[in-house]
Amino acid sequence: MKGTNIGEFEELVLLTVAALLDEAYSVAICDELSSQTGRTVKLGVVHAVLNRLEEKGLLDSHLGEATKMRGGKRKRFYQLTISAKEALVNTKSVRDQLWERIPTLTWKNI
Amino acid sequence: MNPQNQNQPPRWAQKFISWYCKPSLSEDLIGDLNEYFYRNVHTLGPRRAKVIYIIDAIKFLRSYTVGTPHFLNHIINHIMIGSYIKTSGRNLMRNKLFSLINIAGLAISMSVGLLLIAFVFDLHSYDRFHEDGERIYRVNSIQTTTADGSRKFPSASIKTGRLIRENVSGVEEVAVLRDGFAADAEVGDHILPVRGFWAEPSLLNVFTFPMLEGNPHTALRDPYSIVLTELAATKLFGYEPALGKAIRINSSEYLVTGVIKDVPFFSHLTFEALVSLSTLERNSEAAADFEEWTAMWQNYVYVLFQENADMVSIQSQLNAIAENENLGLEHTAVHLNLIPLHDVVVGEKLHRSEGLHMMSPNIPPKLLWAFGGLALIVILSACFNYTNLSMARSMRRFKEIGLRKAIGANKNQVWQQFLTEAVMISLAALLISFLLFLVLRPQLIYMAPELQQLVKLKLTPVVIFYFILFSISVGIIAGFMPAIFFSKVNVIDALKNSSPLKIFKKVSFRRGLVIVQYTLTLIFITTTAVGYVQYKSILAFDLGFNTENILNIDMQGNNPDLFIKELGELPEVSGLSRSTIVTNVGNAWGGFMKYSNPLDSVLVMTNEVDENYLALHDYAFIAGGNFITRPTEAKAVSEVIVNQQVLKRFDIANNDPEQAIGKEIIFSNAHGNGRVMTIVGVISDFHYGKLDNLIEPVAFMYWTPEVPATVNAKIQSNDMPATMAKIESAWKKIDRVHPFKAKFYEEAIEEAYSEFSIVIKLIGFLSFLAISIASMGLFGMVVFTTESRLREISIRKVMGANSGNLVYLLSRDFLLLLLISAGIALPVTYFTFENTILNNFPYHTPVQLTELLVGLLAVMVIACMMIGSQTIKAARANPAVVLKSE
């Protein structure tokens, strides 16, 4: 199933949204991602991904309060949906299983 | 810019985002960008922040952010084209009569519009093939003389061209053309008449006449060089290359130095050959005044200006040149002015110096506007029909509109619906009118040879585009009033089944339309009648001499003696004479005459004729008689026969014809300067020019072989075709090269006024259309009124009214409208003719009441038939049948 599989960047964004709790809006997500991963993350990319995730039903959004900082425009806050949580947990468990199957010996040979 | 503004994101970028972005996304997107912006202002400075903002704004233009355009939504949700088309279609089918009247009327009237569009389009495509056409101007000369006042000619002197080339700044190239190159070109034993211009080498640089063979820069440089068009070259040399070959013209050898592509149809200059102007400079044939400032009759000067040339300063430089040259002149002055190449064809009508070969097409914009106006009247008349009938029938559609409004249609939508309907009808009419256009096009083009040479009326995509545009605008004009009217309908009134009487509120408006329509129709038809009568009276006008059965044969350069001998042997030819020109058809031939005062020189029109001419044409002598001497060369001509105007102009012998005989005058023209001539005869005044000219001084002189010849043959024959064949075979004996060119005098006169006949035919056609459209409209209105009053009539009938009363009752209103129209139209036509149009014809016959009444009668009869047929039908209807259904 294509819908429940998520890409690497999508996974990062979802995790960031979860980590930021109530403060998850595009600019904050962007900053957080930049500081956590160390790569430059463009707003355009994040915006597109947030939009796509919302279309897939992995994110919910609502508009917040207007702030002066944004020229009177409201922020759009994101929240994970149940299916996002499932998708994340699913991804994590797949990885954990794979990790566990790697014997310690293998690492030494690399 | 204030500092606060400095630190704001660019306004237009924000607007740009909210323009393209989906409304659901735009707010937080702009917010995000703003946040970054303020951050960037601190770290990178306002300038770079702005740049980044703008770049981001553009970068966010992606498939997921862009919303469906607003206007698309608008159309899909609001216009409901499908529904409108359906209701319009049903409505059309339900009222077949009204639909027929509307579509037929619009189609007929629009065909006129289509013709006019194609015509104007053709006129505006003249001379557009010249690459530098925008920068090419022709120099016009304005001659001011004490006698004639100011007259503007399209020609200019050769000296003008030279002066402009030398003295005026901003000029890139000057080209002088000399009119009148017409000769027989001989190649071996092949003889072909060719016509064209003498031209300067620069001509091929100024204009775009692509050269197929030869060098365009030098082709016209050397004397005796000739450049042929492709067609002329093929005619002369067949398919052999013409370049470098020799052509004999008038016993001189000319060298073909170039072949150019044929001159396009839409060119005001038309020629078959160009001969280098330098040929004339060393040719003895050149007139004595070749280099004179005032010799402006035969040449055309075209100037190619540099880009961004200052036309104001150029005009003042031209004025300075003219001032300087005019210093040496007395009684006359020549001024120069420029006309853009693209305004030559559609532009001011200029005087034409006589005897020129070049026939440059010219349509004054005023004429186009006038015809545009007339066509508009016919079209408006059809639009009025539409307006009138749709509004009259409005009550039948009230329910529909009420319902539409009740379920949420707003004013705009109703109005759009009715406009759509009108535009649909006009587009349907366009199909029919396009067919009409195809039928009418050849009729128009072949109406006159002039039109055949002027336009082609070819269909191009652009023309078709304009047709459609035109049709849509006609639809909008026609549907405008009904659309406004219906959009104002009150829902409650509409659904309450209110009485139809309420709807007749707009009745005065509709009456007004009918009056306007009929007034215009009447003006049209009376104009046609009056114009036709005037035209006939011009043709039958007593010119002061007799033109009956006289055949004028153009000798085309041949000596007439032999031909006259040949014709003299034919029994059908009862009289023969020679003359230089045919008068009264617009030709003129003249020179300057002086009497006792050496400074008073007057342009006098002349005709060189032989001793038989005056008797053949029944000119009336007042005093003196025919020529006494028979000179054989122009220099020896010493006698002149004048009309009364000459005596009056110079006050010769106190205006007494008997005393004037034997007086001497001095006459100068191209064939002799300062010849002293004795007046041997005085004839009464006659019309030398066309009837729009006043009678002016005219002199007859003896014909000598130096001047052109026309043979005038009086013919008495019962079998005209056989006689003409005999004359033509006589012509073949003396000239094998040129086709026989002969015309009866009366035909020539008719042709000279062909422009009037064209105008009358056109107006006649338009008035026919106008009357058909108006009648159809009236018919529709009558049908509607009688139908809606059928019950009333039946009740009246039951109460005892007779048919006569009822017909009167029903038709009274309409007849009143027609009478009001007639009361406006007839005086308007009468005064327009008497005070404006006919003022140009000093010798016109006054407008008669009969002509006016004939037009009125025709319209009235048709209208009464329309009204009568319907009202009588209604009045005869059996009241029992009508009232039973109630």
Tokens of B93: 């089918």
The Cα–Cα gap between B196 and B254 comes to 14
Tell me which long-range contacts B49-57 makes (C-beta under 8 A, separation of at least 24). Answer: B49/B9, B50/B9, B50/B10, B53/B9, B53/B10, B53/B13, B54/B10, B54/B13, B56/A43, B56/A44, B57/B13, B57/B14, B57/B16, B57/B17, B57/B33
- Within chain B, what is the greatest distance between any pair of CA atoms? 115
Q: Say if the Cβ atoms of A27 and B36 lie within 8 Å.
A: yes
Which residues face B698 on adjacent strands?
A: B605
Assign B242 to helix, strand or coil.
Answer: coil
> A2 falls in which pLDDT band (50, 70, 90)?
very low
B interface test, pick of A29, A47, A69, A77 with most B CB neighbours within 10 Å:
A47
Q: Say if the Cβ atoms of A73 and B28 lie within 8 Å.
A: yes
Q: Distances in Å between the alpha carbon of B268 and those of B124, B360, B454, B679?
A: 12, 5, 9, 44
B201 pLDDT above the threshold of 70: yes
Assign A58 to helix, strand or coil.
Answer: coil
A interface test, pick of B35, B38, B42 with most A CB neighbours within 10 Å:
B35
ipTM: 0.86
Q: Say if the Cβ atoms of A70 and B56 lie within 8 Å.
A: no
Query: Which residue's structure tokens are 């009264």?
Result: B584
Residue A52: list chain B partners with CB under 8 A.
64
Give residue B17's region: left, alpha or beta (phi > 0; psi -120 to 50). alpha
- What digits encode the pLDDT tens for the residues A21-70? 888 888 889 888 998 888 888 888 888 889 888 888 889 888 887 777 77
Q: What single letter denotes the amino acid at residue B237?
A: F
**Considering CB atoms only, which of A48, A69, A74 is closest to B28?**
A74
User: Does A70 contact B at CB distance below 8 Å?
Assistant: yes
Q: What pLDDT, on the 0 to 100 scale, is given for residue B501?
A: 45
Q: What pLDDT, on the 0 to 100 scale, is given for residue B188?
A: 81
Q: Decide which of B628 and A103 is more confident.
A: B628
Let me know: does B256 contact B286? Beta carbons within 8 Å: no
Q: Say if the Cβ atoms of B60 and A69 lie within 8 Å.
A: no
Written as one string, the DSSP assignment of B187-241 is: ETTEEEEEEEEEE-TTHHHHS---EEEE-TTTTTTSTTEEEEEHHHHHHHHTTS-
User: Does A51 contact B at CB distance below 8 Å?
Assistant: yes
- Of A53, A12, A74, nearest to B32 (Cα)? A74
% pLDDT > 70, chain B: 94
A101: distance to nearest CA of chain B, Å?
41
Backbone φ, ψ for residue B169 (5° rounding) = -90, 155
- Within chain A, what is the greatest distance between any pair of CA atoms? 59
B13 pLDDT above the threshold of 50: yes
Burial B764-774 (b: 16+ CB within 10 A, else e): bbbbebbbbbb
Tokens of B357: 């070969």
Q: Say if the Cβ atoms of B59 and A27 lie within 8 Å.
A: no
Tokens of B205: 């640089």
- What digits encode the pLDDT tens for the residues B746-773? 888 888 888 788 888 888 888 888 888 9
> B885 falls in which pLDDT band (50, 70, 90)?
low
Stated length of chain A? 110
Q: Say if the Cβ atoms of B38 and A25 lie within 8 Å.
A: no
The Cα–Cα gap between B153 and B95 comes to 59
Nearest CA in chain B to A64: B28
Query: Which residue's structure tokens are 């035919």?
Result: B761
Query: Which residue's structure tokens are 């947990």?
Result: A89
B interface test, pick of A53, A70, A77, A78 with most B CB neighbours within 10 Å:
A70
Q: Say if the Cβ atoms of A44 and B60 lie within 8 Å.
A: yes
**What mean pLDDT comes out for the span B717-733?**
88
**Considering CB atoms only, which of B8, B29, B34 is closest to A47?**
B29
- Of B387, B207, B239, nearest to B304 (Cα)? B207
Most confident listed range (B439-443, B596-600, B867-871): B439-443
Query: What residues does each domain of chain A span?
Result: 8-109
- What digits encode the pLDDT tens for the residues B478-497? 999 888 888 887 777 777 76
Nearest CA in chain A to B36: A27
The Cα–Cα gap between B279 and B286 comes to 9
Q: What pLDDT, on the 0 to 100 scale, is given for residue B139?
A: 92
Nearest CA in chain A to B14: A71
**What mean pLDDT comes out for the span B855-876?**
86
Most confident listed range (A76-90, B269-283, B381-395): A76-90
Nearest CA in chain A to B60: A44
A44: distance to nearest CA of chain B, Å?
7
Q: What pLDDT, on the 0 to 100 scale, is given for residue B357?
A: 64
CATH 1.10.4080.10 corresponds to the domain A8-109: no
Residue A69: list chain B partners with CB under 8 A.
34-35, 38
Provide the Cα torsion B672, B673, B676, B682; round to 10°: 70
Tokens of B49: 């922040």
DSSP conformation class of B75: I
Tokens of B189: 């034993």
Residues in contact with A98: Cβ distance below 8 Å, sequence separation at least 6, in sequence order? none
B462: distance to nearest CA of chain A, Å?
46
Q: What single letter denotes the amino acid at residue B714?
A: K
The Cα–Cα gap between B355 and B362 comes to 17
Distance of CA B161 to the CA centre of its chain: 30
> B75 falls in which pLDDT band (50, 70, 90)?
low
Q: What pLDDT, on the 0 to 100 scale, is given for residue B433?
A: 94
Which residues face B305 on adjacent strands?
A: B171
**What mean pLDDT comes out for the span B100-113?**
90
B505 pLDDT above the threshold of 60: no
Q: Say if the Cβ atoms of B59 and A47 lie within 8 Å.
A: no
The Cα–Cα gap between B874 and B26 comes to 68
B438 pLDDT above the threshold of 90: yes
Q: Say if the Cβ atoms of A75 and B9 lie within 8 Å.
A: no
The Cα–Cα gap between B273 and B226 comes to 7
Mean predicted lDDT score pLDDT of chain B: 85
- What digits encode the pLDDT tens for the residues B661-704? 988 899 888 777 888 899 999 999 888 888 877 888 899 999 98
- Of B383, B518, B538, B612, nearest to B860 (Cα)? B518
- What digits encode the pLDDT tens for the residues B337-370? 899 999 888 888 887 765 566 677 888 888 889 8
**What mean pLDDT comes out for the span B496-523?**
74
Nearest CA in chain B to A31: B36
The Cα–Cα gap between B16 and B879 comes to 72
Backbone φ, ψ for residue B404 (5° rounding) = -55, -45
The Cα–Cα gap between B791 and B812 comes to 18
- What digits encode the pLDDT tens for the residues B830-853? 888 888 877 778 888 888 888 888
- What digits encode the pLDDT tens for the residues B623-658? 888 998 888 888 888 899 999 988 888 888 888 888
User: Does A19 contact B at CB distance below 8 Å?
Assistant: no
User: Does A48 contact B at CB distance below 8 Å?
Assistant: yes
**What mean pLDDT comes out for the span A66-79?**
81
Angle between the B11-20 and B23-44 helix axes, to the nearest 10 degrees? 150
**Considering CB atoms only, which of A27, A48, A52 is closest to B32?**
A27
Let me know: does B127 contact B133? Beta carbons within 8 Å: yes
The Cα–Cα gap between B614 and B612 comes to 6
B38: distance to nearest CA of chain A, Å?
7
Residues in contact with B667: Cβ distance below 8 Å, sequence separation at least 6, in sequence order? B591, B592, B593, B594, B604, B640, B674, B675, B677, B699, B701
Q: What pLDDT, on the 0 to 100 scale, is given for residue B107?
A: 93
Q: What pLDDT, on the 0 to 100 scale, is given for residue B3?
A: 47
B interface test, pick of A26, A53, A74, A77 with most B CB neighbours within 10 Å:
A26
Interface of B with A (CB under 8 A): 8-9, 25, 27-36, 38, 56, 59-60, 62, 64
